[in-house]
Amino acid sequence: MADSKALERRGYSLGDTLGEGSYGKIKSAYSSKWKTHVAIKIINKRKVPALILDKFLPRELEIAASLKHRNILQIFEIIEERRGKVYVVTELCEGGDLMDLIMSRGALAEEPCRRLFRQLCHAVRYLHDRDLVHRDLKCENLLLDKDHNLRVADFGFSRRLAYEAGRVVLSETFCGSGVYAAPEVLQNVPYDPKASDVWSTGVVLYIMLFALMPYDDSNLMNMVRTQLAHYVPFPSEASVSPEVRELMAIYVSGIFFVYMST
């Protein structure tokens, strides 16, 4: 009720709950100001752990609000209330997330995979060109609009790159989800966050193509050994073009990292 009143004063009429997390929820709404339906992420700062509240949340809000790209979730405004609530108003992605699509339809054909993957690469390139990294790219953080165009969302682990003596300062924080993580992240050694983002896009592509995880993350040490062997476990029944097989081989060999980082 308090959220409804606070947002009504700013021209928002709350609708259904779209999702809930440990310290917030996402609701649909109609904005009389923007004349469109929107999504509002409601964050209760009193429930947010101190590390996230002091470090990651301010960084997320600052970075997300600075972005303007057709394949990155658009933020209309951020409202901070004295009573400890933050309202992040974004465009409404009516197509759900990419994992929802894969779970309902199964593996996607190569042509829609190609289109979505291209959009993901455009968004990642936009971030990297601005010395920004996402560090939590996964199917659940890739939203779809009503026309199934992709939007990168959830910048909770994002950061701006720093440089020392002309070199990128490596990340040391374990970010993201295990199955999407590059081997150096899983090994808990300093890593190039741009290369880590690129690795995650390869995992997303694999999941789109086969509706399967590329690695078994129940044993992370075995998973790292498989990754370091530059092995791509194609399903036996998979029917994909030679170009796809070549692209996946390039990903796990690390060659593609050089292209995306230059």
Identify any residues that bridge with 88 across adjacent strands, giving them in sequence order: 41, 78
Catalytic residue among 3, 136, 154, 197: 136
33 marked ligand binding residue = no
Does residue 136 carry a catalytic annotation? Answer: yes
The pairing of beta strand 85-91 with beta strand 36-44: antiparallel
d(C-alpha 33, C-alpha 176), whole Å: 35
- Which residue from 108, 138, 95 is spatially nearest to 120, judged by alpha carbons? 138
Cα–Cα distances in Å, from 181 out to 50, 94, 192?
A: 25, 28, 12
Position 230: which residue type? H
Q: How would you class 142 by CB atoms within 10 Å of its CB: exposed for 0-12, middle for 13-18, buried for 19 or more? A: buried
User: Can you tell me whether residue 8 is helix, strand or coil?
Assistant: helix
Rounded Cα–Cα distance for residues 60 and 125 (Å)? 18
Distance CA 145, CA 139 (A): 14
Coil/strand/helix, residue 163: strand
**Which amino acids are annotated as binding site for ATP, given as ranges?**
41
Query: Active-site residue numbers?
Result: 136
**Which amino acids are annotated as binding site, given as ranges?**
41
